[in-house]
Structure 1
């Protein structure tokens, strides 16, 4: 009898704010960011199967997938062996600044830890996640976090209130490395004030949160994908309280006035010919996985 899959959601994230402080000795950029989980998600399934690790994710299948790399790292550090089958149903767009690859890797780590009887405690699993990629540690936990370092140094912030969002994604994506390279040439470093964010989040004011939206990478990414700026303006003209590019882009989110407004905005945008539009909302920390069918 074949072993059944373990299944979980892999939730996307947005950066409500992102400031770049400089470059570390290891070549990575020093960041300040307010990271937030959202309802938009992929579905990740894992089971023991065969003699090798196999990752199926459409055009993103194979060893290049970050979930595959996370599985190999998990097996190596846990001393486990045997084959694994990873299946990912993608719904999060790629090269969008929504941590699609990172959240799949984080979901894979959560599932594997359960599958093998929790060989790693939470702290050890977070350390393993940080080794897999800058956003993987955040995606492992989710919720609302103050992130520094490369984005892997995380501290809890007051949980965000429900924020209804409209996300738009230009056809073209943004290569994260290229965005940071351009920032080094033309960008200007900003500074986030943690106290302002703590007060806005704790107070639950959607307008106050919208007023704090900030992203140092917009100036670097917009020349690569000019539609980013056009999409921001479209969301603001539709009545959103605020709009921002997430991460290095190319996706843009708008903070809607509520769920009904978010759906109305999305419908209007689709009628105007915009194809990649999603309605979603902020969520809390990630949930545990659930056992699926074989």
Structure 2
């Protein structure tokens, strides 16, 4: 994980002495397989996470009190940025605090990892702002207590994610692709979705292993990647949720493109080799009133 910390030290921008800003990037799941339930009630997964350019923008400076605000204001009593900041100051016993402003661009409850990315980026920025009072592995341990997939956002890029989401290994990166995100009018609760998936049995697809094998090749086509895209939650929703099924089928009918779920939802995505094709698909969907975001892999 240490390479990502070096990257942060270079890209975090100082506006002046004690003010810094950094992007907190979103992710999509190219694969997401539920491979078992753990003794602690959580689930083991095998998944390929891919960082994308859509991001929240975080700005931070020293302050007498902890002051965190989102723009626009989000409907939550305590965000992951609040939790990560409180743990950081408790463990370091630093008397100063921080003023943190987060411009929220990543939709909440979307499967794009916005909250986890905010947590990881906030920890990294606080550590830099106060001259690195915590070691890298200490920050990672804090992240694991906040959310299962926070660990990925200390690395970014393309990664194999296993266990409950805390075991992360960088793999060969996906070539640059354009990603069309569709934000439905409905959302899913991650906790409820994982509870619901307990009653389902899925055939072993080995989609994650197959995708990693393709990425290890020097040359591959987008169609090879698309053939490996898989999400167990998508399979479950298709069997129990008529609204989700109708939305997915309508997207594919309008664009002649295959869409897939990211995380436990509710955002859907499609991949494109070039931006012109992605924009054409986006235009077709905008005429129907569907909310979309066009971004790319990182």
Q: TM-score, normalised by structure 2?
A: 0.86
The alignment status of 1:56 with 2:69, answered yes or no, reads yes
Question: What's the offset of the Cα at 1:220?
Answer: 3.4
Question: What's the offset of the Cα at 1:60?
Answer: 2.5
Selected match of 1:261 from 277, 281, 284: 277
**Range with bigger deviation, 90-99 or 190-199:** 190-199
CA distance 1:61–1:105, change in 2 (3 Å): farther
Distance 2:142 2:221 in 1: 36
SS of match in other structure, 1:185: coil
| Paired residues, number | 279
Distance 2:110 2:204 in 1: 22
CA distance 1:4–1:218, change in 2 (3 Å): same
Selected match of 1:201 from 215, 223, 246: 215
The alignment status of 1:85 with 2:99, answered yes or no, reads yes
Question: What's the offset of the Cα at 1:187?
Answer: 4.5
The alignment status of 1:250 with 2:266, answered yes or no, reads yes
Question: What's the offset of the Cα at 1:223?
Answer: 6.7
Structure 1 stretches of at least 4 aligned residues deviating more than 6 Å after TM superposition: none
Q: TM-score, normalised by structure 1?
A: 0.87
Whether contact under 8 Å (2:38, 2:44) holds in the other structure is yes
Whether contact under 8 Å (1:44, 1:87) holds in the other structure is yes
Selected match of 1:94 from 108, 113, 128: 108
Whether contact under 8 Å (1:165, 1:256) holds in the other structure is yes
Distance 1:189 1:91 in 2: 36
1:74 corresponds in structure 2 to: 88
2:234 corresponds in structure 1 to: 218
Question: What's the offset of the Cα at 1:202?
Answer: 3.0
Question: What's the offset of the Cα at 1:99?
Answer: 0.6
CA distance 1:264–1:65, change in 2 (3 Å): same
CA distance 1:270–1:210, change in 2 (3 Å): same
CA distance 1:122–1:226, change in 2 (3 Å): farther
Q: Deviations over 1:44-96 (max 9, x none)?
A: 11111123x22211433775101110111111222323222111111111111
1:6 corresponds in structure 2 to: 20
For structure 2, list consecutive stretches of 5 or more residues without a partner in the other structure. Answer: 1-15
1:286 corresponds in structure 2 to: none
Selected match of 2:297 from 282, 286, 291: 282
The alignment status of 1:106 with 2:120, answered yes or no, reads yes
For structure 1, list consecutive stretches of 5 or more residues without a partner in the other structure. Answer: 284-294
Question: What's the offset of the Cα at 1:271?
Answer: 0.9
Question: What's the offset of the Cα at 1:13?
Answer: 0.5
**Range with bigger deviation, 24-33 or 224-233:** 224-233
Aligned-residue CA RMSD in angstroms? 2.1
